[in-house]
Amino acid sequence: MTAVLLRDAPARIHYAPRLRRPEAAEGRPRVVIVGAGFGGLSAARALARAPVDVTLIDKRNYHLFQPLLYQVATAGLSPADIASPIRGILAGQANARVLMGKVTGIDREGRQVLIGERRVPYDYLVIATGARHAYFGKDEWEPFAPGLKKIEDATDIRRRILLAFEQAETEPDPVERQRLLSFVIVGGGPTGVELAGAIAELSKVALARDFRSIDPRSARVILVQSGERLLPVFPPRLSEAARKSLERLGVEVRLGHPVSECGESAVRVGPDVIDTRTVIWAAGVAASPAAKWLQAEKDRADRVKVDANLNLPGDPRIFVIGDTALAVDSRGNPLPGLAPVAKQQGAYVAARIAARVTQDLDIGPFVYHHLGNLATVGRKAAVADFGFLRLQGSIAWLLWGVVHVLFLIGFRNRVAVLLDWIWAYLTFQRGSRLITGVKG
Ligand SMILES: Cc1cc2nc3c(=O)[nH]c(=O)nc-3n(C[C@H](O)[C@H](O)[C@H](O)COP(=O)(O)OP(=O)(O)OC[C@H]3O[C@@H](n4cnc5c(N)ncnc54)[C@H](O)[C@@H]3O)c2cc1C
């Protein structure tokens, strides 16, 4: 525990003399990494001791811990608890510099990354630009059903949820009031399940005594999954356990029918129309526009097809990793869009580049080591699948908590999240019940 803490506590660095970046030694390879998410950051940090100059580019100035975004969206955590400034994370790494900018293209011939008019030359390029939510061609649904991918999405969803309760409190029309107090989550994967559980607990516990005209416990939370079961990557027994835990929280789980219509005041699911003012999209993802930048082969989700070394086929100087890459395992199955995949791929491409520039060695193909899957439903309710061991209930929930705190970047964030969780556990309250961003 201590070793982890020291390495991740950038605050201590401020007392040390400011690190002077050695002049880019003539001929020292330039490694440019686009995206400071799980994959890009892992690659940059793993190159700390390599004789290369690292440039990490991101359109944001912070690294975001997406697995806890849903807790920002449901008023449990503040955005700063799950995000860390990239410059702070790499302040102690002498061979690294950080550029904030939105990449708009790649000049493969000239070996340059384009940030608008600006050009950043590279000898090796790692693209780790992640993914965005996708509506399977129904992009017109986005205004009515926001997805959850960045902090702005989370605070927008939080506003919609909390505002619905406020509006219901003064709404005279019972039909409109029930519409306001109905929340539909589309997509029964981990994010959908976690959102549904958190909204149910918010309405049934945290808000229960705070209103006078409405009873928040009467809110409907509906989770729609087009497939036959929730959490399809988990074993059926754990899918069933998650469904039962959600239903104990009062969530209505709808299986087997996709959303076919989505509008301002209702959604259609199979034969039913559900009146609602708040729909949250947790169903589809599509990769960043990296394939277009690279003019590369891609799959239906726009992921860039890479070879076994995570290189763009035919170009050993370009690597594509994480959610924006289509990498397959030894059986040809696509690797899942998960943080551990991106992190392991980041470390791998760093090792590959270091081996190339130091000993001109080939370190063999990438192999993903899957440690397991975790998903939480709510208080003392989660499921965990480690293959040889499958857990549910409180023990899985504790494990889920420990793993998420450990993987958070930054000592401050770990302590902040832990304190927020302990407080929420003891008081049944939420630490960030703020309605922000209301116009006027
Ligand atoms: C709500 C939610 C919950 C999740 N929960 C889990 C979970 O519990 N467990 C798990 O393993 N995985 C989870 N995931 C998936 C996990 O977050 C991703 O698999 C992981 O983030 C992929 O890492 P990445 O490095 O490929 O991309 P990301 O972490 O998304 O990072 C991409 C980075 O690229 C930057 N970027 C994008 N485009 C540009 C551009 N044009 N110019 C400059 N910078 C750019 C972005 O700002 C971002 O910082 C979750 C995802 C979401 C959205």
Q: Give the atom of ligand 1 at the shortest distance from the alpha carbon of 338.
A: 19
The confidence score (pLDDT) of residue 184 equals: 98
With the most atoms of ligand 1 within 8 angstroms of its CB, the residue from 32, 33, 34, 38 to mutate is 38
DSSP letter for each residue of 33-89: EE--SHHHHHHHHHTTTSSSEEEEEESSSEEE-GGGHHHHHTTSS-GGGGEEEHHHH
- How far away, in angstroms, is 347 Cα from ligand 1 center? 16
Geometric angle at alpha carbon 388, from 384 and 390, rounded to 5°: 25
pTM: 0.93
Q: What CATH number does the domain located at 139-283 have?
A: 3.50.50.100
Give residue 268 CA to ligand 1 midpoint distance, Å: 30
- Separation of 391 CA from ligand 1 center, angstroms? 27
CA 135 to ligand 1 center in whole angstroms = 18
Q: In the CATH hierarchy, which fold is given to the domain comprising 10-59+101-133+285-357?
A: FAD/NAD(P)-binding domain (3.50.50)
Three-state SS for 90?
coil
Cα–Cα distance measured from residue 20 to residue 72, given in angstroms and rounded to the nearest whole number: 37
Contact yes or no for 428/437 (Cβ under 8 A): no
How far apart CA 40 and CA 328 sit, in angstroms, is 19
CA of 39 to the centre of ligand 1 (A): 8
Rg (CA), the chain: 23
Which residues does 426 contact at the CB level (< 8 Å), separation at least 6? none
Query: Which of 63, 65, 66 for mutating ligand 1's site (highest number of atoms within 8 Å of CB)?
Result: 66
Ligand 1 atom closest to 129 (CA)? 34
Does 297 qualify as catalytic in the annotation? Answer: no
Mutate-to-test residue for ligand 1 from 129, 294, 403, highest number of ligand atoms within 8 A of CB: 129
Do the domains 10-59+101-133+285-357 and 139-283 sit in the same CATH topology, yes or no?
yes
Query: From the candidates 23, 152, 169, 194, which is the catalytic residue?
Result: 194
Atom of ligand 1 nearest to the CA of 102: 42
Report which ligand 1 atom has the smallest distance to the Cα of 62: 49
- Protein residue with least CA distance to atom 35, ligand 1: 35
- Nearest-CA residue for ligand 1 atom 50 is 67
Please tell me the distance from the alpha carbon of residue 310 to that of residue 126, in angstroms, as a whole number: 10
Q: Which atom of ligand 1 is nearest to the CA of 149?
A: 53
Ligand 1, pocket-test mutation among 338, 368, 383, 403, most atoms within 8 A of CB: 338
Ligand 1 mean position, distance from CA 290 (Å): 14
Q: Sketch the domain layout of the chain as residue ranges.
A: 10-59+101-133+285-357, 139-283
Q: 400-406, long-range: CB within 8 Å, 24+ apart, which pairs? A: 400/374, 400/375, 400/376, 403/374, 404/67, 404/68, 406/4
Under-70 pLDDT residues of the chain: 1-26, 360
Q: Name all residues whose Cβ lies below 6 A of ligand 1.
A: 34-40, 57-60, 66-67, 69-70, 102-103, 128-130, 148-149, 190-191, 288, 322-324, 337-340, 342
The model's pLDDT over 111-164, given as tens digits with 9 standing for 90+, comes to 999 999 999 999 999 999 999 999 989 999 999 999 999 999 999 999 999 999
With residue 32 as reference, give the H or E element that holds it.
Answer: strand 30-34
Please tell me the predicted confidence (pLDDT) of residue 26. Answer: 58
Closest ligand 1 atom to residue 324 Cα is: 26
